[in-house]
Chain A
Amino acid sequence: MTIKNEQIEKHGLKLEEYKKIKELLGRDSNLLELGIFSAMWNEHCSYKSSKIHLKKLPTKNNIVIQGPGENAGVIDIGDDDAIVFKIESHNHPSFIEPYQGAATGVGGILRDVFTMGARPIALMNSIHFGSPENKKTQNLLNGVVSGIGGYGNSVGIPTVGGETKFNRTYNENILVNAMAVGHVNKNKIFYSKAKGINKPVVYVGSKTGRDGIHGATMASAEFDENSEEKKPTVQVGDPFTEKLLLEACLELMKKNSIISIQDMGAAGLTSSSIEMASKGNVGIELNLNKVPCRENNMTPYEMMLSESQERMLIILDDNKENEAKKIFDKWDLDFVVIGKTTDSKRLILNFDDKKVADIPITALADEAPQYNRKWTTSKNKKKELKLKSLKKIKIEEALLRILSSPDHSNKSWITNQFDQSVMCDTIQKSGGDAAVIRIHKKEKAISVSVDSSANYCNADAKIGGKQIICENWRNLISVGSKPLAITNCLNFGSPEKPEVMGEFVECIEGMKEACEFLNFPVVSGNVSFYNETNSKSIFPTPVIGGIGIFENLKKIINMKSKKVGNLIIIIGKTLGHMEQTTFMRDIYSINEGCPPEVNLVNEKNNGLAVSKLINDNLVSSCHDVSSGGIIVALAEMSMASMLGLKIVKPKKFKDLNEYFYAEDQGRYLLEIERNNLKKIEDILKKNNIFFEIIAEVQNDIFEVDKTFSIKTKELFDYSNKWFKNFNAVN
């Protein structure tokens, strides 16, 4: 049988890639083998366009136990405790079928974490939708939010935070990124590397159906008008089975019987078996007649490429089958030995007593194409903004508009659909700068924050990349934790376009600089290319998920202003950077100009100073200044506790809006007790940190001295309007 060009293209492979396949096999492939190559060589699995650039990111330091390359990253948090975490995209499936797409995104990332032996302790998400005016947005928002909740709530892992943004760049290509965090004893981590010959390869979990066939190839192709016909390639999630699989795996992991374990994620049985074999430098032979199937007459092609959810592949040590099977029987899950490891270093598949595929493992993994794609530097978008010529707007009018805009309004309509409290270790839920989760039964906790800033990245990918690392770091500092490491999900357009590739390369460059300077390594992540429809790319959207540590539960703080009479100081200088701000976008619909510069030295010094003050118990509440500038950050502190603020006017700024809405970086708001002011001044001056007193906490009025005054309750009502109105339409 010869493979036709049309079949090759249908599998998302280029003709020259097939030529290489023929060389590697020394013959034509059959259709099953073509399917397997296409699953392994697509962008989603092979990282063929991104690999050479991802290598530039710092991935190691003294706390990193496992960097990129495994199911998830692992960091050491002391006392034998380790944190396992990763973020992953499920953008394409979620646009086609929002509920199942989002749900299985959560399921997949949970498996990545418990495959390594960790009990998941928190879920986060970053979801981006098109403009609210787009007629698809409401349905997508509803579907994605209930899908995320439907899965996480059922498995019983708290969804403790995230971010939701709207921009017309996502009209035809939404983003659904899910992050999972788990806790494991650092001496009991499980890896996917196979070891030993003639060891049983065991299939556990759900049965294999025809769902999701070629999902990974779909995720590597851009959308067109026919995309909605791709529904059958979206997998269907079953959180109930996931919960059983989670408990069964963790129970088995307590015994000494697993050599290696890998979840069947994208490209299912294909990628899991090949990854295990490739890492262990062994061969693997499977008898496909043994694969538990949900439907009749499934072909080897369908079994190998199915993306049915809630399945795992385990390589067991000798004589452990009975012990292991007992556990899976208890949980009513399939447990079938479907093959063995071999010394052939080949993937051999048998079906009906015939060999149906025979491929060298290295051909699928190491020989996968890698491209150094052409890239051009992202367009220079520098343009002077003439603020003076714009029609003036009152501070309070702009504030109310921003607070009632989709991006800045209260997100409880979303977060109330997520169980944030199950497991009883959630100390700080969503709505703060970072979520805080206690390590079960221990006197320590971790912080988690997920952040993105596509507008900045679109204006300048390098500054944007740098900025978002810093913002994430700042969020972890703001709750009192010490930032440790990150995972990233890089959502971009087609890498085959030099300008998109340029955004990618420059964004990585910016991230690298910031991560290195802040000693904030990247330990896991995911690249999602081809986020475009009809050749229109989304804004480059790197999403960062960061983890921080508290060694003492008493050092946890939040952004709720605490006591009437306390002072609020701002750390970090306000220069008045207005380009690319929320203010310019929301009030004047101006999207031009550069994002704010990031000064890494100031960023680090300011952050460390804030950390020191929190550690010395000198801070009552803290909030970082980000999108929306000082006034929005102050309003958020005020609304969090319903106490008011009396804000002083800056002396140096003629245009108050330039002071209150600028988005200069590296700034924090700190609430302090008056009698600590002297002590704090001394520490900050000694460290050369710029600061000034900006407000005083008062009863229930939010006001700027001699300018405007409004009840905090009224601010709160404005911020709660948008979601209610938007969803009341239907």
Chain B
Amino acid sequence: MRSSVIVFPGSNCDRDIAVVLEKLQFKNSMVWHKETTLPKSDLIILPGGFSYGDYLRSGAIAAKSNILNEVIKAGKNGCLIIGICNGFQILIECGLLQGALLRNSGLKFVSKDIFVRVQTNKNKFFNKYKNGEVLKLNIAHNEGNFFTNQKHLIELEEKELIPIKYCNEKGSIISESNPNGSLNNIAGILNKNKNILGMMPHPERMADKINSDQKGLPLFLSLMN
């Protein structure tokens, strides 16, 4: 399995992702944002961080960088893409995913461990999880408050394009367990073809047994099939 992690100026979770991918023996390349060609990849990851300092709007400048043209092409051709945190923001800014990530409803940066419930495992990313499984993941963002129009929201819900929602420890999806005001407690979404995933929580931070219960690991494992 060949993977490419795109590195923007200001990315800061690129190394964290690479550590996990290498541990799972992906053939991984780190790809600098100024590049104009992408190595052959089965999986592209847009990592978390503050690409271009989050200036202008989170992800907006990164969405215009050289390499993104290639990422967009690959995505349209069915290549698997994951955007985590700032990566999710970039996927939205470049149009590969629809909707918007607004400022957190509490108007503060939020970093903590949260729970998400797997809503559907019928996609390449979550097929190693059980439906309804509750995962402890970590979030760290200022703009993770997902918003979209009614039509898109209905489509997301009906076509099983929302793989994870914020929930409490027991799996109940309630407003108290929504850390950022996200619409319908949405923590991540898929595109129609289900080859592109954007999510705010960081699975790579829950992949090592020294500091987690490794609930982030199956996401990467499921891509190895």
- B54 in the interface, Cβ–Cβ < 8 Å? yes
A416 touches B202 (CB 8 A): no
Stretch from B103-111, B127-135, B186-194, B217-225 contacting the other chain: B103-111
Query: B49 contacts which chain A residues (CB < 8 A)?
Result: 156
Query: A156 contacts which chain B residues (CB < 8 A)?
Result: 12-13, 49-50
Query: A417 contacts which chain B residues (CB < 8 A)?
Result: 108-111
Query: B204 contacts which chain A residues (CB < 8 A)?
Result: 424
- B185 in the interface, Cβ–Cβ < 8 Å? no
B97-123 residues with Cβ-Cβ distance < 8 A to A are 108-112
- B53 in the interface, Cβ–Cβ < 8 Å? yes
Q: Nearest chain A CB to B50's CB is how many angstroms away? A: 4
Query: B48 contacts which chain A residues (CB < 8 A)?
Result: 422
Cα–Cα distance between A427 and B109 once the two chains are bound (Å): 22
Cα–Cα distance between A320 and B126 once the two chains are bound (Å): 50
- A244 in the interface, Cβ–Cβ < 8 Å? yes
- A149 in the interface, Cβ–Cβ < 8 Å? yes
- A301 in the interface, Cβ–Cβ < 8 Å? no
Known contacts A421-B140, A424-B211, A426-B211, A243 near B111 by CB under 8 Å: no
B10 touches A421 (CB 8 A): no
Q: Nearest chain A CB to B66's CB is how many angstroms away? A: 13
A423 touches B53 (CB 8 A): no
- B159 in the interface, Cβ–Cβ < 8 Å? no
Known contacts A239-B50, A243-B9, A422 near B16 by CB under 8 Å: yes
Q: Nearest chain B CB to A174's CB is how many angstroms away? A: 20
A509-524 residues with Cβ-Cβ distance < 8 A to B are none
A243 touches B12 (CB 8 A): yes
B178-198 residues with Cβ-Cβ distance < 8 A to A are none
Cα–Cα distance between A417 and B109 once the two chains are bound (Å): 5
Cα–Cα distance between A151 and B138 once the two chains are bound (Å): 19
Query: B54 contacts which chain A residues (CB < 8 A)?
Result: 154, 240
B53 touches A238 (CB 8 A): yes
B205 touches A421 (CB 8 A): yes
- A542 in the interface, Cβ–Cβ < 8 Å? no
- A331 in the interface, Cβ–Cβ < 8 Å? yes
A424 touches B109 (CB 8 A): no
Query: B111 contacts which chain A residues (CB < 8 A)?
Result: 149, 153, 416-421
Q: What secondary structure prevails in chain B residues at the interface with A?
A: mixed
- Nearest B residue (CB) for A436: B211
Cα–Cα distance between A156 and B52 once the two chains are bound (Å): 13
Per-position 1/0 for B208-219, Cβ under 8 A of A: 101100000000
The winner among A149, A153, A424, A425 for most chain B CB atoms within 10 A is: A424
- A146 in the interface, Cβ–Cβ < 8 Å? yes
- Nearest A residue (CB) for B48: A422
- Nearest A residue (CB) for B138: A421
Cα–Cα distance between A553 and B209 once the two chains are bound (Å): 12
Known contacts A422-B12, A422-B140, A427-B211, A240 near B52 by CB under 8 Å: yes
- A411 in the interface, Cβ–Cβ < 8 Å? no
A154 touches B53 (CB 8 A): yes
Per-position 1/0 for A137-150, Cβ under 8 A of B: 00000000010011
Cα–Cα distance between A310 and B72 once the two chains are bound (Å): 34
B16 touches A424 (CB 8 A): yes
Cα–Cα distance between A244 and B52 once the two chains are bound (Å): 10
Query: B30 contacts which chain A residues (CB < 8 A)?
Result: none
Query: B16 contacts which chain A residues (CB < 8 A)?
Result: 422-424
Cα–Cα distance between A418 and B57 once the two chains are bound (Å): 20
- A332 in the interface, Cβ–Cβ < 8 Å? yes
Query: A332 contacts which chain B residues (CB < 8 A)?
Result: 9
Cα–Cα distance between A578 and B10 once the two chains are bound (Å): 51
Chain B interface size, as a band, is: 20 to 34
Q: Nearest chain A CB to B136's CB is how many angstroms away? A: 12
- B15 in the interface, Cβ–Cβ < 8 Å? yes
Query: A553 contacts which chain B residues (CB < 8 A)?
Result: 210
Query: B52 contacts which chain A residues (CB < 8 A)?
Result: 240
Cα–Cα distance between A516 and B211 once the two chains are bound (Å): 35
CB-based A-B contact count at 8 angstroms: 83
Per-position 1/0 for B139-155, Cβ under 8 A of A: 01000000000000000
B210 touches A155 (CB 8 A): no
A240 touches B208 (CB 8 A): no
The winner among A146, A154, A155, A425 for most chain B CB atoms within 10 A is: A154
Per-position 1/0 for A18-55, Cβ under 8 A of B: 00000000000000000000000000000000000000
- A462 in the interface, Cβ–Cβ < 8 Å? no
A103-125 residues with Cβ-Cβ distance < 8 A to B are none
Query: B207 contacts which chain A residues (CB < 8 A)?
Result: 424
Q: Nearest chain B CB to A380's CB is how many angstroms away? A: 46
B9 touches A244 (CB 8 A): yes
Query: B50 contacts which chain A residues (CB < 8 A)?
Result: 153-154, 156, 239-240, 243
Query: A239 contacts which chain B residues (CB < 8 A)?
Result: 50, 53
- A438 in the interface, Cβ–Cβ < 8 Å? yes
Query: B24 contacts which chain A residues (CB < 8 A)?
Result: none
B10 touches A243 (CB 8 A): yes
Query: A438 contacts which chain B residues (CB < 8 A)?
Result: 210-211
A331 touches B9 (CB 8 A): yes
A416 touches B55 (CB 8 A): no
Query: B1 contacts which chain A residues (CB < 8 A)?
Result: none
Cα–Cα distance between A427 and B210 once the two chains are bound (Å): 7
- B174 in the interface, Cβ–Cβ < 8 Å? no
- Nearest B residue (CB) for A437: B211
Cα–Cα distance between A418 and B140 once the two chains are bound (Å): 8
Cα–Cα distance between A698 and B110 once the two chains are bound (Å): 33
Per-position 1/0 for A390-428, Cβ under 8 A of B: 000000000000000000000010001111111111110
Query: B202 contacts which chain A residues (CB < 8 A)?
Result: 421
A419 touches B108 (CB 8 A): no
A647-693 residues with Cβ-Cβ distance < 8 A to B are none
- Nearest B residue (CB) for A423: B16
B10 touches A240 (CB 8 A): yes
Q: Nearest chain B CB to A76's CB is how many angstroms away? A: 23
Cα–Cα distance between A412 and B179 once the two chains are bound (Å): 14
B9 touches A146 (CB 8 A): no
Cα–Cα distance between A397 and B50 once the two chains are bound (Å): 46
Query: B208 contacts which chain A residues (CB < 8 A)?
Result: 424
Query: A241 contacts which chain B residues (CB < 8 A)?
Result: 53
Known contacts A239-B50, A421-B202, A424-B19, A155 near B12 by CB under 8 Å: yes
Cα–Cα distance between A316 and B54 once the two chains are bound (Å): 33
Query: B109 contacts which chain A residues (CB < 8 A)?
Result: 146, 149-150, 153, 417-419
Cα–Cα distance between A706 and B217 once the two chains are bound (Å): 49
Cα–Cα distance between A595 and B48 once the two chains are bound (Å): 48
Q: Nearest chain B CB to A225's CB is how many angstroms away? A: 32
- Nearest A residue (CB) for B49: A156
Cα–Cα distance between A422 and B111 once the two chains are bound (Å): 10
Cα–Cα distance between A331 and B7 once the two chains are bound (Å): 12
Cα–Cα distance between A416 and B142 once the two chains are bound (Å): 11
Q: Nearest chain B CB to A169's CB is how many angstroms away? A: 28
Q: Nearest chain A CB to B107's CB is how many angstroms away? A: 10
A146-B108, A156-B49, A421-B211 given; name 17 further pairs at CB < 8 Å: A146-B109, A149-B109, A154-B50, A240-B10, A243-B10, A243-B12, A331-B9, A412-B112, A420-B111, A421-B111, A421-B205, A422-B12, A423-B16, A424-B204, A424-B205, A426-B211, A553-B210
Q: Using a CB–CB distance below 8 Å, which chain A residues touch chain B?
A: 146, 149-150, 153-156, 238-241, 243-244, 330-332, 412, 416-427, 438, 441, 553
A-B contact pairs, 6 of them (CB 8 A): A241-B53, A418-B111, A424-B207, A424-B208, A425-B211, A441-B19
A-B interface, 7 closest residue pairs, ranked by CB to CB distance from nearest: A156-B12, A240-B53, A419-B140, A154-B50, A419-B111, A424-B16, A421-B205
